Amino acid sequence: MTEEDSTTEADADPELPEPLREHLYAVVSALVGHDGLLVALDFDGTLAAIADTPGAAAIPDATREAIEALAAEPNVEVAVVSGRELSDLRDRVGIPGLSYAGNHGFEIHTDEYVLHPEARAAEETIAKIRDRLVGDLADVEGATVEDKGVTLTVHHRLVDEPDVPAVVDAVESVVAEREDVRLTTGKDVLEIRPDVEWDKGEAVRQLEAELVPESEDWLPAYVGDDTTDEAAFAVLADHGLAVKVGDDPDTVARYRVADPEAVRAVLDWLGSYGTSFLAAEDSDFPV
């Protein structure tokens, strides 16, 4: 297939999002010759549109069907990686047979559930910080403290703009008092987690180690929209596909799609067409 041919093929499929259309030949080339495919997907802002409250986020039925179809393909593993608590994440995805990494990878479930030991040790600390912040932010309308067991997320999406600095100050003050937690930020959220060198990038490494057969060469791919996903993009910089959702220019991901609907289109394409390139020869693309 020539580069011109690949453009024609993409143009014939209206479901393909524009960035994938522009780089289809490169994506196909990445798939060719690999024995299998590991697809890791963020949840909020990637599979589900960003919602005003954590409880309102949901995967559209069409996206769920696309994930199910892709996961059913031979030599394909699908994992969902999120800052959400793992139990909440599994309930919202609701697809048997997938792997999960919750709480930014502190919780991982492939064949069995594993909680990072240092995260378990921090649960009491996280509970104390939760109680403190619930009191400190009680008078800030729209601010919510989400307790995820081994991490906390303070949401300020619904807080009036003039009041947001007060939320930030309250969280930063609590974190500054302790040496055993760290603060990270995302889209209208402040996240408090154990001060451990662990993130979504390490979660992807762990998923690769557990899901990819040692004797085989699989292509890993990661799709995400937020700053916390950059760690996963960085891990795949030299041997996988990193796909950013949205138009934020500050990313190390090489490829981009517009929104969760475009993610659904990518998953559809992979399941119905893209996986046919696995184990193909460079000179023998199936078209």
Which residues does the annotation mark as catalytic?
42
Nearest Cα neighbor of 263 from 30, 86, 97, 48 is 48
Rounded CA-CA distance 256/282 in Å is 24
The residue assigned the tokens 């309102």 is 56
The residue assigned the tokens 């995302």 is 186
Residue 230 Cα distances to 20, 35, 174, 222, 262, angstroms: 19, 26, 26, 10, 19
> Which residues is 109 bridged to in the sheet?
100, 113
Give the largest CA-CA distance in the chain: 65
Q: Which residues contact 6 (CB under 8 A, 6 or more apart)?
A: 24, 25, 28
Nearest Cα neighbor of 44 from 55, 29, 35 is 55
E-assigned strand segments in 148-268:
152-155, 181-186, 189-194, 218-224, 241-245, 255-257
The torsion angles phi and psi of 115, rounded to 5 degrees, stand at: -110, 130
